Amino acid sequence: MKRSQFIRHTALTAAGAAAASSGLLAWPGADIVFGHGNKRYRLNEQWSKADVSRYPVNDCHEMVQDSKGRILLLTNETKNNVLIYDKSGKLLSSWGTEYPGAHGLTLFDEGGEDVLFICDNNRHQVIKTSIDGRVLMTINYPAMTGAYSKADEFIPTETAIAPNGDIYVVDGYGKDLVIQYNHRGEYIRHFGGRGPEDKHLRNAHGICVDLRGATPQLVVTSREQNAFKRYSMDGQYLRTIAMPGAWVCRPVIAGRYLYAAVLQSSSRPWQQSGFVTILDDNDRVVSNLAGSEPTYANGQLQEMYQTVKAFSYPHDVCVDDDGCLYLAQWNSGKVYPYKLEPVA
């Protein structure tokens, strides 16, 4: 970051204050506390106990916790697409060799049974599986929308499942549509897509169902616009949550808060400038882990950026039932996920 840019930014967090002359602190591996307010964490880079020679990873794309408390990681390494851990980082099992473009991983409680939805970029499909990898349903490219001439144009990145079982797929590397299906995989409608209006999306990388309010809503990532966008469950655009400076990945809701990995900072694109952001139930950023302290001026969130070079390209955050975070990273030297433990 240029010094002139740094001076215009708000002050660094306490962790980064010692490096204020450069505007960026290299992660020394010491006991630094990340974050702000009541959302502060200590980083454990050695959480995973997996043997890299037997269970390698490539891009660590997404993570979820199942009903047994286990942590599931999805990677596009076809020697073991899914690694299953306990919360201490012990590897319990693995499965999957047929997902070369494994990208999105969503867990849904279907009548008391955990099921998974995997988005595969290379296969241009969404695959529903049992928790141990048995294929239950496959969703192919949505020709019925009229927006696609061939399967290769459909590059799904994430799914979200409504309480009634409806499936929402975001085509974040394709045409940026949100496609809604019923629980049987039958097409209902589509919305979003590219264009100049607020209702449109650019890099619709992630999606979730927000049940915190009186009426369920969809929160969709528009990553290249540094924003989340809210829609009704039938696809009506509601409003935009601006996230200036932050290339946000999928939104993950746990309790009152929304968590998201930030792939990179706009001020330092493609320079391993990622961090983690946390928003409250009023859609206000309350903490950035390895990022700048969230600051509002005249009600507008100011540009955010990495302040501690602890992460490279964060891609997803999983929040477990103890409030710990697990961070999966893309294109970051094939590192296993990190764990972040809350500080009281």
Phi, psi dihedrals of residue 315, rounded to the nearest 5°: -125, -25
Which sequence spans correspond to the domains of the chain?
A: 3-342
Q: Any idea how long the chain is? A: 344
Higher pLDDT, 20 or 156: 156
Helix (H) / strand (E) element for 342: namely strand 338-342
Phi, psi dihedrals of residue 287, rounded to the nearest 5°: -160, 145
The count of other CB atoms within 10 Å of the CB of residue 339 is: 24
The DSSP code for 221 is: E
Is residue 184's pLDDT more than 50? Answer: yes
Specify the amino acid at residue 158. Answer: E
Residue 213 CB-half CA count within 13 A: 15
Q: What percent of the chain has pLDDT over 70?
A: 92
pLDDT category, 216, cuts 50, 70, 90? very high
3-state DSSP of 152-208: HHCCCCEEEECCCCCEEEECCCCCCEEEEECCCCCEEEEEECCCCCCCCCCCCCCEE
Question: What is the structure's pLDDT at 19?
Answer: 36
Q: Tell me the pLDDT tens digit for each residue of 70-89.
A: 999 999 999 999 999 999 99
The DSSP code for 306 is: B
Q: Tell me the pLDDT tens digit for each residue of 244-290.
A: 999 999 999 999 999 999 999 999 999 999 999 999 999 999 999 99
Question: What is the structure's pLDDT at 283?
Answer: 98
Question: What is the structure's pLDDT at 259?
Answer: 99
Phi, psi dihedrals of residue 117, rounded to the nearest 5°: -120, 120
Specify the amino acid at residue 150. Answer: K
Higher pLDDT, 339 or 7: 339
From CA 52, how far away is CA 74, in angstroms rounded? 15
Superfamily holding 3-342: TolB, C-terminal domain (2.120.10.30)
From CA 48, how far away is CA 87, in angstroms rounded? 9
Phi, psi dihedrals of residue 19, rounded to the nearest 5°: -110, 25
Q: What is the pTM of this model?
A: 0.92
CB 189 within 8 A of CB 218: no
Is residue 8's pLDDT more than 90? Answer: no
Distance of CA 299 to the CA centre of its chain: 26
Question: What is the structure's pLDDT at 175?
Answer: 98
Q: Tell me the pLDDT tens digit for each residue of 92-138.
A: 999 999 999 999 999 999 999 999 999 999 999 999 999 999 999 99
Question: What is the structure's pLDDT at 105?
Answer: 98
pLDDT category, 23, cuts 50, 70, 90? low
From CA 322, how far away is CA 114, in angstroms rounded? 20
Question: What is the structure's pLDDT at 3?
Answer: 28
How high does pLDDT run on average in the chain? 93
| Mean per-residue pLDDT, 216-232 | 98
